[in-house]
């Protein structure tokens, strides 16, 4: 394996296996610190605003998670929005510039993604995002969503603070939901949205694919 450092703007995740330990060792050698792990990936960062996300699902194959990411990348390119992540270029093993690179350890493929570093949501923000997601899933309107949450003080403050970006966030969620199906199950909740330092909400992972 040749796990490369990013060049300019590198189910449960796989862990405690020789392959996972090799990935961790190489990233630590490159100066990255582990941020955490999610359903099918781990995230690593340096102190320069860059993050490496490694798709490494626990189980027999990384293919479902890799297909899901590539589908999401296609969506972000076809329907531009400030509410998608900013993916950053790096070099793959063949020296080609890309926002992701495939590498292999033993008989298993992994995907390495370069992207901007984002912040986690507060609990209350996550609940509001989940409510928005549920309204979209129920084919309700933005007006209905705003009316529904407007009765609570905490959400009134949130709407006032974010009124300029709410329509765009709603549209990005709708665009992502329009591509959900039996293979790519809608999975947009508070843990799959993050935000930039300027407060912009960013959708990071709207679906899950099981096979």
Kindly report, residue by residue over 151-169, the tens digit of the pLDDT.
777 888 999 999 999 999 9
- Directed axis angle between helix 153-162 and helix 142-149, to 10°? 140
Neighbouring-strand partners of residue 203: 193
- Judged against a pLDDT cut of 60, whether residue 6 lies above it is answered with no
* pLDDT tens, position by position, 113-166: 989 999 999 999 999 999 999 999 999 999 999 999 987 778 889 999 999 999
C-alpha span between 72 and 61 (Å, rounded): 19
Q: What average pLDDT score do residues 36-40 get?
A: 77
In order of 14, 92, 95, 103, 160, the CA distances from 23 in angstroms are: 11, 16, 20, 10, 44
Average pLDDT, the chain: 86
Whether the Cβ atoms of residue 40 and residue 53 lie closer than 8 Å to each other: no
Non-local (6+) Cβ contacts of 21 within 8 A are: none
Q: Phi and psi dihedrals of 21, rounded to 5? A: -65, -35
CA dihedral 183, 185, 186, 190 (to 10 degrees): -130
Mean pLDDT value across residues 45-49: 79
pLDDT band at 1 (very low <50, low <70, confident <90, very high): very low
């Amino acid at each position: 394996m040749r796990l490369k450092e990013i060049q300019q703007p590198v189910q449960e995740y796989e862990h405690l296996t020789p392959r996972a330990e090799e990935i961790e060792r190489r990233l630590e050698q490159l100066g990255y610190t582990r941020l955490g792990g999610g359903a099918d990936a781990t995230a690593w960062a340096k102190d320069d605003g860059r993050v490496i996300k490694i798709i490494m699902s626990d189980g027999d194959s990384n293919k479902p998670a890799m297909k899901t990411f590539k589908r999401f990348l296609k969506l972000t390119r076809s329907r531009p929005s400030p509410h998608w992540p900013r993916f950053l270029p790096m070099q793959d093993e063949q020296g080609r510039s890309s926002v992701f690179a495939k590498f292999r350890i033993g008989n298993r493929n992994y995907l390495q993604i370069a992207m901007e570093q984002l912040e986690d949501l507060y609990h209350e923000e996550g609940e509001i995002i989940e409510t928005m997601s549920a309204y979209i899933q129920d084919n309700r309107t933005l007006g209905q969503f705003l009316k529904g949450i407007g009765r609570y003080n905490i959400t009134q403050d949130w709407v006032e603070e974010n009124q300029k970006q709410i329509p765009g966030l709603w549209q990005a969620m709708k665009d992502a939901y329009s591509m959900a199906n039996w293979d790519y199950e809608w999975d947009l909740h508070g843990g799959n949205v993050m935000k930039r330092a300027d407060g912009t909400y960013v959708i990071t992972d709207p679906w899950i694919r099981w096979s």
